Structure 1
Amino acid sequence: MTFSDEMPDTLPGTKMTAALCFVAAYFAFQAVMITLVSNGAGLDDAEQLAYIGPLHLGYGGSQLPLYTWIASSVSDVLGIHFLTLQIVKFGLLASLFVSVDLGARLLGLSRAVAAAGMLAIFLLPPIGWESQRALTHSVAGIAGSSWAFLAFAWHMRRKSFASAVLFGLAVAAALLGKPNASIFIAALVLTALTVADYRRVLLSRYGVVALVVALAALTPTALWMLDHKGAVLARTSKFALDKIGPIAGRVQGLGELMQGAVLFAAPLLVFFAIMLWRQRKGRKMPSEAETGAAGYRFLVRLVPVALAMTIAGILVSGTSRVEDRWLQPVLFLAPMGLAAAFAPRLSSEQGFRRLSFWSALVAVILIPGLAYHLHYGSAGKPPIGQLDYASLYRQARSDLDFRAVLSDGPQLPGNMRLFDPSLVPIHYEMPDSLQRIRRPLLVVWFGDKDPPPIIPAMLKAANLDLADARIVRMRLHFLTRPETTRPVSYALLP
C-alpha cells in the first residue's frame, strides 16, 4: 500500500464504492424514517419553516443564509413539507461524506483507506448523532467545508481556470454556511502553504481567480450584514466574551475547547486504537516516498493547524464558552487525518476495512436510538416536535381565517406552515419583521400568562394592540406522551 501523488487512472466517482452506496442508502432511509416518527418540527427545523420563501441576502438570529437558500430552493420544487426539510438536511450530510471520500482519494489515499476515514465520521458524536437529531446551519457549515475540501483537492490535481472557480465558489459556500467554517478555510489555506506542490498552485494566477470568485460570491451578503448589524449580532452573547475577566475567560475557553475536543473525538480514538492493536504485527516503516507525498503531509497537518487556529481565536477574542458542535468544521476531517497518518505504517489495508465495517455498524445502531429519541424524547421529557400543533391550528382557524402568525420565536409560526404553507410567519429575530405583518393576524405564544414583552412591543410598533382582543388559553398535548401538556395562548386581530 502506498500513498501516491500520481493521478489515478480513473477519477474518483466514476465507480461507486460500497461505502458510497451505503452512505447514499443510509441518509435516504434516515430522511424518510425521521419524517415518519416525527409529528412536527423541532427548534431548528421550525426556524427554517419560518424563513422558507423568497431568497434574501441574509436572515436573522446571527445565522448565515446558505441552509435557508437551499431549503427554500428545494421547497420551491417539492413544496413546504416536513419531508422536504429532511431531504435537505440528509442530502447535505450525504454530500459531506461523499466529498470527504472523493477529496481524500484525489489527494492520494487508496479506496479502502479513504472509505474508512469517511465512514469513521459516524464515530464523531456531534456529527453522527447530533447533526442527525437536530441542527441545520451547523450541517450547512460542515457540508460547505467538505465541498471546499473536495474542490481544493481537485484544484491541486487538475489546476485550471474552471477548478479555480469551483474552489472559490466552494469556499464562499462554506463561509455562507456557518461562521466557524472560516477556521477550516483558513486552516486549509495555511496548511496548503506548508506543502510546496500546493503552495505553487495557490500562489499562481489560479489562486487569484479563486480568491476573486470567493470575494465576489461573499460580497452581497457581507454588505447586507453591514446594513443589519443587529440581526448579525443577535446571538453573540452565547460566546460569553470577557464575561468573567480577560484572563479567566480565556482559560475557561481553552478548557472548554480541550473538553469539547476530547468528547468530540473520544469514540474515534477508541476505534482507531483497537484497529492499531489488532494490526500490531502488521506494522512497517513507511517509505520516504509515502510520507513525503504532498497529500500525506497535507492531511496529517490539517486538523492540528485547525486546532491551533481555534486556540488562537479563543486567546484573541476572549470567548469563555465553546460547545462541541462548534468544533464540527475543525474536526470533521480528524478521521481522515488519522487514516492518512497510519496508512503508510501498516502493511495491509485489512484494519481499515474492519474500521469501515464497525463505523457503518455504529451508524446503523444509531437509527433506532434516533427514532426513539425523536419520538419519545429522553429523561421523561418529550421532544418539542411531538406537540399537537394540529389542534392549535384547527382551533385558531375555526375562530378566524388568519393570514399571518406572530410570535416571540419561530417554533409556533414555523409549525403552523406545515398546515398552511401560505401563512406569513413573523417573529422578532426576522429582519424587517414589521413589514411582514398581515391581517387577519394570529398572535400566539407559549404559556398561560401575558405574552412576552417583545410581542406587545412589536404590535405597538405596527400600531396594533392586544388590549381589546380576546385571549384564548389552551393546553397542547404531546402526542407520544399524552399525559404531558404545555400551555399555549393566542389572540386574533381581524
Structure 2
Amino acid sequence: MMRKDVLVLGAFAAYFAAHAALRTWAGGGLEVDEGEMLVLGRRWQWGYGPQFPLYNWMQAASFALFGPTTLGLAALKNLVLWISVAGLYLGLRRVHALPVALAGALTLALLPNVVWEFQRASSHSIVLLAGVCWTVWAVMGVLARGARRDWVLLGLVVGLGGLTKANYWLVPVVLAAVLALGRPPLPDLPRRSVWPGLAVAGLVAVAILAWPYLWMLEHPDLTMASTGKAFRSEFGLVPGLEGLAEAAVGTVAGLLPVGLAAWMLARGRAVPAGPDWPGRLLVAAGIAGLGLSAVAILVAGATEVESRWLVPAYVLLAAGLMVQAARRATPAGLRRLWVACGVIGALTLGGMANHRLSAPGTGMIDFAPLAEAVDRMAPDVVMADYHIGGNLVLLRPGLAVLAPLAGAVPPEARRVLVLTRGGAVPDPVTAFALRGLEPPPEAAGRVVETVALPYLRPVEERFEVGAMLLPEVALSLAR
C-alpha cells in the first residue's frame, strides 16, 4: 500500500470518527435499530431470530470494550462504515490507479441510503454493505492475480458476507453469472482456470457458515419471523406490481445522484485510462442484480419494498458507472468530484447534528420517567419491543429485557412486566403478540400504569407507554 493510499484511508477514518464523536456527544434516546442492538447485542449466541448474527457478534465485542453505551453503538457503526469504504477503495485499487479507485469508492457518498440512512438508523444493513464492498475486493484479487491465497480470501469474505443479511447472496450470484456468461462483453478480462480455486473458496465459506446456518434450519420460526415486512399492504390489483413500482421509484431516486455525477465526469478525455473490464463487470452485475430482484418481487408478490434492501445491487451498479466515468474524466473533473463529496460529507455531519440535537423523532424521547416507573414496579423481566427495551437497557444496564422472539421467559421469573407503545395494552395480550403466540382470554393482564414520555426538545407531543403485569396463567404459557 502506497503512502497516498494511507492518506486516503486516513481521511475516510477521520470523517467517520467525527460522526462517532458527534453521536456519542449528542447522546439522547436510541433509534429502533440501536435499541435492538442494546437488547440483543449484549450476549453471544449462534442466532438472533430473523437477523443474521455477524453484526450482533461485532456489537457484543464493542460492548465488551465500551460497555452497553451510545459510544459502543456509534464506534462500531462508524468502524464498519469505514471498513466498507476501505474495502471498495482497496478492491478498485487492485486494478486501477488511485483517482479512478477513489472515484469508485466515493460512490457511497452519492447513495442516499448509505450516506444518510445508514448513519442515522441502521445496523445489519451496514455490515451487509461491508460484505458487498469486500466481495468486490476479493473478486478483483482473484481476477487480477488468481493465487491460491486470493481464493482463500474470497471464501473467507463470502463466508462472512453470508452472515450479514440474506440479500448479500445476490452479490456473489450475479458476479458469478456475469463472469460465466459475459466473457464476450469483457474481452480484456484475464483468462484463468477457476475450478480448483472455486473448490478452495467454497470449502472456506462452508466452514464459516455451517454452524450458524444449522441454527437457522433448527429454528425456522425465528429465522423467518420478519418476512411479513414485504407483505403489509392490502391493496394492489396484481400481487408484486405494487412492490415493483415502489422498488423502481426508490431505484431512480437512489441512483440519480450517481448518474448525474458519472455523466459530468465522462465528458472528459476520449481515451479512457486503465482496464475496461472492472467497470463493465460491476455495471453488468448491478443490472443483473436489479433484474433478479425485480423477478423475486414479482414471484413473491411483495407489496412493499424498501430501497435499502436493494443496496447490494445499487453499490455494484453505481461503483461500475463511476469507475467507467472516472476513466474518461479530466483531472479538473476529478477535483470537482472530490470537492463535491467533501461538501456532501460536511452537510451530512451538519444535518446529523441537527437531527440529533433538535429534530423531534424516535431518538429524541426521554425514557428516564419510564425507567423510574419500572424501578418502582421491580420486575424480574421486562418484555418490550426493541425501541422501548433498548432505551431501558441504556438507562438500566442490569435490567433483564426479553425481546420479541428472543427466547422463553426464565423459569425463575415471577414478576414479568409488559411495556407497549400507545399507552394501552390490547387484547390479545401484547406479550403474546410479541412472542407470536395466540393467548386464551384468561391470559389478559391489567394495565398498571400509563407513562407519558416527553421529548428531549420542547414539543407538545408525548410518547405514551403502557405497563402491564403479566398474570400467572399467561406467565406459564409464555415459558
Does the pair score TM above 0.5?
yes
Q: 1:309 aligns with which of 264, 267, 292?
A: 292
Distance 2:148 2:414 in 1: 52
The CA deviation string for residues 277-327 of structure 1, in whole angstroms up to 9 with x for no partner, is: xxx4x431448xx55x54344234332222232233234433343221111
Q: 1:484 aligns with which of 437, 461, 464?
A: 461
Q: Is the 8 A contact 2:230 2:304 kept in 1?
A: yes
Q: Are residues 1:78 and 2:66 paired?
A: yes
Q: Is the 8 A contact 1:256 1:321 kept in 2?
A: yes
Q: 2:264 aligns with which of 274, 286, 291?
A: 274
Counterpart in 2 of 1:328? 311
Q: Are residues 1:46 and 2:35 paired?
A: yes
Of 21-30 and 219-228, deviating more is: 219-228
Q: Are residues 1:406 and 2:383 paired?
A: yes
Q: Are residues 1:88 and 2:76 paired?
A: yes
Q: How far did 1:441 drift?
A: 3.9
Q: How far did 1:421 drift?
A: 2.1
SS at match of 1:284: coil
The CA deviation string for residues 420-443 of structure 1, in whole angstroms up to 9 with x for no partner, is: 32322113322x233487355443
Counterpart in 2 of 1:284? 270
1:441-460 alignment runs, 5 A limit: 441-451=416-426, 453-457=428-432
Q: 2:102 aligns with which of 103, 111, 115?
A: 115
What amino acid is the match of 1:85? Answer: L
Q: Is the 8 A contact 2:418 2:431 kept in 1?
A: no
Q: Is the 8 A contact 1:263 1:324 kept in 2?
A: no
TM-score by length of 1: 0.85
1:59-458 alignment runs, 5 A limit: 59-60=48-49, 62-106=50-94, 108-193=95-180, 194-195=182-183, 201=192, 203-240=194-231, 248-276=238-266, 280=267, 282-286=268-272, 290=274, 293-346=276-329, 348-377=330-359, 382-397=360-375, 399-407=376-384, 409-430=385-406, 432-435=407-410, 438-451=413-426, 453-457=428-432
What amino acid is the match of 2:269? Answer: R
Q: Is the 8 A contact 1:43 1:410 kept in 2?
A: yes
Q: How far did 1:472 drift?
A: 2.2
Task: Mark the CA change 1:283 to 1:89 in structure 2 (over 3 Å): closer, same or farther.
Answer: same
Q: How far did 1:329 drift?
A: 1.0
Q: How far did 1:255 drift?
A: 2.5
Q: 2:15 aligns with which of 26, 33, 41?
A: 26
The CA deviation string for residues 76-126 of structure 1, in whole angstroms up to 9 with x for no partner, is: 1221111111111111111111111110011x2210111122123211111
TM-score by length of 2: 0.87
Q: How far did 1:470 drift?
A: 7.3
Distance 2:444 2:302 in 1: 41
What amino acid is the match of 2:241? Answer: V
SS at match of 2:462: strand
Task: Mark the CA change 1:357 to 1:451 in structure 2 (over 3 Å): closer, same or farther.
Answer: same
What amino acid is the match of 1:353? Answer: R
Q: How far did 1:208 drift?
A: 0.6
Of 304-313 and 125-134, deviating more is: 304-313
Of 168-177 and 21-30, deviating more is: 168-177
Q: Is the 8 A contact 1:44 1:134 kept in 2?
A: yes
Structure possessing the higher relative contact order (Cα contacts under 8 Å, 6 or more residues apart): 1
What amino acid is the match of 1:67? Answer: Y
Q: Is the 8 A contact 2:284 2:317 kept in 1?
A: no
SS at match of 2:201: helix
Q: Which runs of 5+ in 1 are unaligned?
A: 1-10
Identical counterparts, % of pairs: 29
What amino acid is the match of 1:356? Answer: W
What amino acid is the match of 1:302? Answer: A
Q: Is the 8 A contact 2:283 2:316 kept in 1?
A: no
Q: How far did 1:371 drift?
A: 1.9
What amino acid is the match of 1:228? Answer: H
Q: Is the 8 A contact 2:178 2:284 kept in 1?
A: yes
What is the CA RMSD across the aligned residues, in angstroms? Answer: 3.0
The CA deviation string for residues 347-396 of structure 1, in whole angstroms up to 9 with x for no partner, is: x333123212211211111112122223333xxxx212221112221232
SS at match of 1:53: coil
SS at match of 1:475: strand
Distance 2:224 2:348 in 1: 35
The CA deviation string for residues 220-265 of structure 1, in whole angstroms up to 9 with x for no partner, is: 22221122111122221222399768x8224333322321210111
Q: Which runs of 5+ in 2 are unaligned?
A: 472-479
Q: Is the 8 A contact 2:233 2:303 kept in 1?
A: yes
Q: Is the 8 A contact 1:120 1:355 kept in 2?
A: no
What amino acid is the match of 2:163? Answer: L
Q: Is the 8 A contact 2:429 2:444 kept in 1?
A: no
Distance 2:401 2:166 in 1: 26
